Amino acid sequence: MTKLSVNINKVATLRNARGGNNPDLIQVAKDAERFGAQGITIHPRPDERHIRYDDVMALKDTVTTEFNIEGYPDKRYMEIVRLAKPHQATLVPDPPEALTSNTGWDTITFQGMLKDIIAELQETGVRTSIFINPDPKYFEPAKTTGTDRVELYTEPYASHFHQDKEKAVAPYVTVANLAKELGLGINAGHDLDLHNLKFLKEKIPFMDEVSIGHALICDALYYGLENTIQMYRRQLES
C-alpha cells in the first residue's frame, strides 16, 4: 500500500499571512490524520516563512501517524531532527532562499557528505530518504550513502503529464525498478495531484509513500479537507 503523507506547509503560510493562530496548524494536523492522512510532512526553512521551530516541537508530540521532516541538512535542520525525532528525515538539496524544492541531489558529487549525514541521522533511529531526480546514474551512488529510501522528484512528470503521460512516466518507472533492485524504499513528491497521481501509482505500484501539499490544500478550498484527503486516498487505492 502506498501511504499518503499530507504536507501542511501551506496551512502555516496562510496562518502567518495574518499573524495569530488561524488556521490552527496543530489542529489541522490532527484533523488531517482523523480524515485519513497516513502521515504529516513539514519543511521548516530558516526564515520560518511557514513552519516555525515551535510548530515542529508541538507537532512531534501531536502526530500519531508518521512524522516526516524535509529540509536541507545544515546545522539547524540536523538539530531540529535530533530534538523532534521524526519517523523520517527527507534530505533535499535546495538552499535556504529557494521558494520550493526544484531538483534532486547529485548523489555522485555529494556522496561523501550524504553518507556522513545519513549515518548521523540513523544513529538517532530516524529513517532517511533523499530527494532524487529520475536519472539512473544517481541511484547506485544513492545506495552507497546508506539511505533507507529515495524520494522521486516528480515535477517533470507532472509538467509533461497532459502532453504525453506515457512518455512522462517512463523515466520514473525505470528508476523505480532500479531502486527496488537496489533494496531502496521509494517515496515520491512534488506537483502530484488528483489528475496525475493515480497513473503514477498504476505504473509504480510498489511506492511506499507520496507526500502532497500544495495541490491537496488547494483542492481542499473547493472540496473540504476531509473529502479531499479521501479523494487522494482513493487515487492510491484504486
- Domain harbouring 138, CATH code: 3.20.20.70
211: three-class secondary structure by DSSP: strand
Q: How many domains does the chain have?
A: 1
Based on the residue annotation, tell me whether 66 is a catalytic residue of this protein: no
Cell numbers found for residue 150: 529515495
First to last CA, the chain: 11
65, 73, 107, 64: which is closest to 91 by C-alpha? Answer: 73
Q: Which of 33, 50, 66, 70 is catalytic?
A: 70
Query: Containing domain of residue 168, as a range?
Result: 3-237
Catalytic residue among 43, 50, 66, 151: 43
Q: At CB < 8 A and 24+ separation, what contacts does 95-98 make? A: 96/45, 96/46, 96/47, 96/72
Amino acid at site 193:
D
How many residues in the chain? 238
* Helix, strand or coil, per DSSP, at residue 6: strand
Residue 50 annotated among the catalytic residues of the structure: no
Spatial separation of the C-alpha atoms in residues 202 and 192, rounded to whole Å: 14
Give the separation between CA 102 and CA 80, rounded to whole angstroms.
23
Separation in Å, CA 210 to CA 168, 191, 197, 213, 233: 18, 11, 9, 10, 10
Closest by CA position to 149, among listed 99, 186, 102: 186
The whole-angstrom separation of Cα 187 and Cα 27 is 26
| 151 is an active site residue | no
Reduce the DSSP state of residue 128 to 3 states and report it: strand
Annotated active-site residue in 50, 66, 151, 190: 190
CA 198 to chain CA centroid, nearest Å: 17
pTM recorded for the entire structure:
0.95
Q: Distance between CA 4 and CA 197 in Å, rounded?
A: 11
Q: What does each of the 238 residues of the chain score in pLDDT, given as a tens digit?
A: 999 999 999 999 999 999 999 999 999 999 999 999 999 999 999 899 999 999 999 999 999 999 999 999 999 999 999 999 999 999 999 866 665 667 899 999 999 999 999 999 999 999 999 999 999 999 999 999 999 999 999 999 999 999 999 999 999 999 999 999 999 999 999 999 999 999 999 999 999 999 999 999 999 999 999 999 999 999 999 6
CB-CB contact of 118 with 145 (8 Å): yes
What percent helix, strand, coil does the chain show, rounded to 5? 50, 15, 35
